[in-house]
Amino acid sequence: MVSEGSVAPDFNLKGSDGKLHRLSEFKGKSVVLYFYPRDDTPGCTIEAKGFNESLADLQKLGAVIIGVSNDDIDSHKKFCNKYSLNFLLLSDPESKTIKDYDAYGNKGVFGFGTLRKTYIIGKDGKIAKVFGKVQPLDHNKEVISALKG
């Protein structure tokens, strides 16, 4: 179980930039790692656009934003291009990292899949904050508030 104070699980996933990324490459920064069900769906689009609009504020707070879903890289690239998203999206087609972060489960009428969940990982590599059952609208503001302390 991933909880506040625990060491964040590492990952090795391909990004929307075409490169492989590990959590360790972001050492020294706060990482906002958010999990979402599907590219270009209403809630996921609202959440992504919110983070994109807050990108400058997040960067001023020393944070990077990274989205994770099990969509493939082509889907991520189209999603980023369509909405001019300027942050990294990672592809987890086997949902390994999604499951490592307890972001996979029963979605009721939608069956099992990726849950909307966000983690703030501190500069020390430990989970500083967990947001479960995220509401897409204004989630970016909740994250900024938590980063400010």
Number of domains in the chain: 1
Q: How far is CA 87 from CA 59, 80, 106, 130, in A?
A: 11, 8, 28, 20
Q: Quick: pLDDT tens for 5-25.
A: 999 999 999 999 999 999 999
CATH number at residue 137: 3.40.30.10
Distance CA 82, CA 3 (A): 34
Active site residues: 44
| Of residues 149 and 90, more confidently modeled | 90
Compute φ and ψ for 76, nearest 5 degrees.
-60, -45
Residue 7 domain flag = no
> Is the distance from CB of 120 to CB of 129 less than 8 angstroms?
yes
Residue 34 domain flag = yes
Q: Global pTM?
A: 0.95
Range of the structural domain that residue 90 is part of: 12-148
Which pLDDT value is given to residue 27?
A: 87
Residue 2 domain flag = no
Q: Quick: pLDDT tens for 88-111.
A: 999 999 999 999 999 999 887 878
